[in-house]
Structure 1
Amino acid sequence: MSKIACSVYIVTLNCEAWLQKTLQSVQQFDEVIILDSGSTDHTYEIAHQFENVKIAHQDWLGYAAQKSLALAQCRNDWVLNLDGDEVLSEELQQEIVQVIQQDQLDALITPINDVFLGVPNSKHTKKHAKVRFFRKSKGQYDLANKVHENVVVTGESRRAEHDIYHYGESSIFVKVEKNNQYSNLKAAEKFQKGKSPSVAKLVLVMPMTFVKSYFIRRSCFNGWRGFVNSMINAFYAFLKEAKLFEQHMNRDNK
């Protein structure tokens, strides 16, 4: 079977838990570029098992900058970004092949199916979606984003019909730890952009985010996991605003 004329790029750090499944899901692609920022687990051993994978070290530059550098090393006109804890569905792979063959679009906005505590989202839950597959010449990263980096595409895109499965939120502990780290980065980003904290937002952001997550995005269909997930999402939103207050307080006390 001929390889899919598309480069996959991944940034990793200690991703052994899911990397095998990640790389198995893209074995049919022409090449996989991995930029690793210092793994001490079996990430390198797993990567070396796959003929289409190239792995190299790069000290951590930040999410957007690290992915931008990995993107620059891709040799194909079409590129696909995955994280080391994500798996490409077979259905989405076929959708990607069709887009390449038809050569009319410039990007797919891909739904991310978060497998929280080992269970995927209900089919009724509204999933987040990001540009993950695109023409290399039409996409670039906004380097001002410290976290939740996104590809900015100049061209025509549509929402993909099928999913990328995200397995990284394997426990409540892991999700809370990630949100604590991400909220530090988002608060610093807001502070550097000159945004001022808001008492009203500090008070309202948590209940409003819970309503959005649990009811509007329909996480309620995920049972007790959906309630827990929405509560953590709400607290994450609160942390970002609280830490922005902290940034301003620390500046004023200098």
Structure 2
Amino acid sequence: MSKIADNIESTPHSDLAKGDEHSVKTGRILVAIATYNEIENLPILVERLVDTLPEADLLVIDDGSPDGTGQWCEEHAKMNVRMHCLHRKGKPGLGSAIIAAMQYAIDNNYDVMVNLDADLSHPPEKIPELLEAWRLADSDSTVAIGSRYIHGGGISGWPLKRHFMSRAINMYTRWLLWLPMADCSGSFRAYPVNLLRKIDFDSFLSYGYSFFEEVLYHLKEQGASFVEVPFQFVERQYGSSKINMRKAIVAVWTIFRLGLKAWNPF
């Protein structure tokens, strides 16, 4: 198990861990949501997820939110056997939260793990399209990526500066890491769990925002193929963004370090 999971306290639900037996085509689905101070968004998101994908299990990874997000998750989980909460000590980073979710998906034998942000920027109603792209792929090692940067995709609510920064980081990542997709930096994705089992999470350089670029690099190294599904990203309406200039600089530097490994594998 990855060292990232060492500081997790889990509230077990035996029914959730076992899961229901879905059809072979559908597989067992885990939807993972990392949270910190998302009490205004999480109840809305969970309701939309249950309406859209009632057969999926939900996993919330909360980093000790002082606004009560974790407590809300616990109370809701008592009424919904498909919902599970992981409570982490401190704020180890967004990427480490997703690694914890991936480890949970592996340990509990899910077939696919869907990741989306808690701030309602990723429409849960698009998840069936992500899953369909995964199911219809020629390879069982295909990652389905929700993409803002292919035809049909887009972004609403961003200032020009943030558009420029996002485009620049995607070009930078594609060049440094030799990645084929248009959207390298988004987190709205469906990962086949059989592919996640091949990754050494302890080898990651990033446990913050550059995790989403780095995991694509590691997946490509393990033979993954990729398919992009367009969606409309909408900037959050409630709460505040967790990214800042310092975190952005750290992400750029981490991708550069990873690029050195990609260009000089020996």
Gap change, CA 1:17 and 1:91, over 3 Å in 2: closer
Higher relative contact order (CA 8 A, sep 6+): 2
Q: Does the alignment pair 1:62 with 2:93?
A: yes
Q: Which has the larger radius of gyration?
A: 1
CA deviation vs aligned residue, 1:151-200 (integer Å, no higher than 9, x gap):
3223221111334x4543769xx56x73234135337748988x9xxxxx
SS in 2 for 1:54: strand
CA deviation vs aligned residue, 1:40-83 (integer Å, no higher than 9, x gap):
21313442436222112112322322211121112311011112
Q: Does the alignment pair 1:168 with 2:240?
A: no
Match of 2:157 in 1: 116
Match of 1:6 in 2: 29
Number of aligned residues: 185
Measure how far apart 1:88 and its partner are. 4.4
SS in 1 for 2:37: coil
How does 1:63-102 map onto structure 2 within 5 Å? Answer: 63-74=94-105, 75=108, 76-86=110-120, 88-89=122-123, 92-99=126-133, 101-102=135-136
TM-score where L is the length of structure 1: 0.57
Q: 2:205 aligns with which of 131, 144, 150?
A: 144
After superposition, the CA RMSD in angstroms is 3.9
The unaligned stretches of length 5 or more in structure 1 are 119-125, 196-254
CA deviation vs aligned residue, 1:84-135 (integer Å, no higher than 9, x gap):
21354365223134235436341112124544279xxxxxxx8845461120
Greater fraction of residues in strand: 1
For 2:235 and 2:68, the matched residues in 1 are separated by 18
Percentage of identical aligned residues: 14
The unaligned stretches of length 5 or more in structure 2 are 1-20, 149-153, 160-166, 168-181, 261-266
Measure how far apart 1:38 and its partner are. 0.7
SS in 2 for 1:73: helix
TM-score where L is the length of structure 2: 0.55
Gap change, CA 1:156 and 1:57, over 3 Å in 2: same
Amino acid at match of 1:108: A
